């Protein structure tokens, strides 16, 4: 991070592990007042005294609204939100459980919507603020084993694209963060090679740099993002052949 950051107060959800945790720590180290949320209150306590712990289940819309009110009453207006609460489990054809699909969409997508609903009216009234959320390059296309996870991330990308024009008119920035593979407890479930695997610390740094630069899409690693976007343009027979070889094991 080069130079001072443009925010005074930030709210980070999904801050108990992975990218969210590192973003909260790096923002706090840079002098930003940080409120950190996750379901695990114990893990939030380990973020240090410079971070306000706000335990929260993002699937509870009323709780999200109360969390925003609580944070702003103690730290001041939230001028950056990084909404990273989410879950992941690979799904195979032998384990098509509708409850798993519903849980992932409720947590990953509606969890962001619930937080945005609590934040947007306040930011619009002030005519300023920066809303961002963590989607994934998995939202670019359908991928094997991501039948539950991928659609929730595609929905987040679409949400950002849909809200951006009106939010901009009201003085609110919108950014979507699309990481590639990052070394976290969630990606540890994968049984296939993960190209360009990154550490959470580096992913957090790139996320913050991209947000500070005001980019709509903050996507990394750049080479991996470029490859995936190019693959998505291939005719379906070639696309399915390449993706299947990369992810699926021979049966």
Output the pLDDT for position 224: 95
Output the pLDDT for position 251: 44
pLDDT digits (tens, 9 = 90+) for 112-121: 999 999 999 9
Output the pLDDT for position 2: 57
Q: What is the mean pLDDT of residues 222-247?
A: 93
Name the residue among 149, 132, 133 with its Cα closest to residue 141.
149
CA distances (Å), 210 to each of 2, 54, 201, 203, 204, in order? Answer: 12, 25, 14, 11, 10
Residue 94 vs residue 234, higher pLDDT = 234
Output the pLDDT for position 99: 96
CA distances (Å), 59 to each of 13, 65, 87, 103, in order? Answer: 12, 11, 12, 10
- The pLDDT of residue 186 is above 90: no
Contact 43, 16 (CB under 8 A): yes
Output the pLDDT for position 249: 63
Under DSSP, the state recorded for 249 is P
Domain boundaries, given as residue ranges, for the chain:
9-226
Write down the CATH superfamily of domain 9-226: NAD(P)-binding Rossmann-like Domain (3.40.50.720)
What distance in Å separates the CA atoms of residue 41 and residue 99, rounded to the nearest whole number? 26
Q: Which helix (H) or strand (E) holds 20?
A: helix 18-29
Contact 52, 71 (CB under 8 A): yes
Contact 49, 28 (CB under 8 A): no
Burial class (CB in 10 A: 0-12, 13-18, 19+), 89: middle
pLDDT band at 184 (very low <50, low <70, confident <90, very high): confident
Output the pLDDT for position 44: 93
Output the pLDDT for position 95: 81
Instruction: Kindly name the residue from 149, 164, 220, 236 that is annotated as catalytic.
Output: 149
Output the pLDDT for position 109: 98
Catalytic annotation on 164? no
Q: What is the mean pLDDT of residues 126-150?
A: 96
Output the average pLDDT for the chain: 94
pLDDT band at 189 (very low <50, low <70, confident <90, very high): confident
Helices (H) and strands (E) in the chain, counts: 9, 7
pLDDT digits (tens, 9 = 90+) for 2-20: 568 999 999 999 999 999 9
């Amino acid at each position: 991070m080069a130079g001072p950051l443009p925010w005074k107060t930030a709210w980070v959800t999904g801050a108990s592990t992975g990218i969210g945790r590192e973003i909260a720590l790096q923002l706090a180290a840079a002098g930003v007042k940080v409120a950190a949320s996750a379901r695990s209150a114990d893990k939030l306590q380990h973020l240090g005294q410079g971070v306000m712990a706000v335990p929260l289940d993002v699937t509870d819309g009323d709780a999200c609204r109360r969390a925003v009110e609580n944070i702003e009453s103690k730290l001041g207006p939230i001028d950056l939100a990084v909404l990273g609460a989410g879950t992941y489990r690979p799904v195979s054809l032998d384990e098509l459980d509708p409850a798993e699909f519903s849980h992932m969409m409720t947590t990953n997508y509606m969890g962001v919507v619930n937080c945005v609903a609590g934040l947007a009216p306040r930011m619009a009234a002030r005519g300023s603020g920066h809303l961002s959320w963590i989607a994934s390059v998995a939202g670019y296309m359908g991928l094997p084993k991501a039948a539950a996870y991928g659609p929730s991330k595609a929905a987040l990308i679409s949400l950002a694209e849909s809200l951006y024009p009106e939010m901009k008119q009201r003085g609110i920035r919108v950014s979507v963060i699309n990481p590639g593979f990052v070394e976290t407890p969630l990606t540890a479930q994968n049984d296939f090679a993960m190209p360009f695997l990154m550490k959470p610390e580096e992913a957090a740094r790139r996320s913050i740099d991209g947000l500070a630069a005001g980019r709509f899409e903050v996507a990394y690693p750049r080479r991996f993002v470029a490859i995936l976007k190019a693959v998505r343009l291939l005719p379906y027979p070639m696309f399915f052949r390449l993706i299947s070889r990369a992810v699926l094991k021979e049966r």
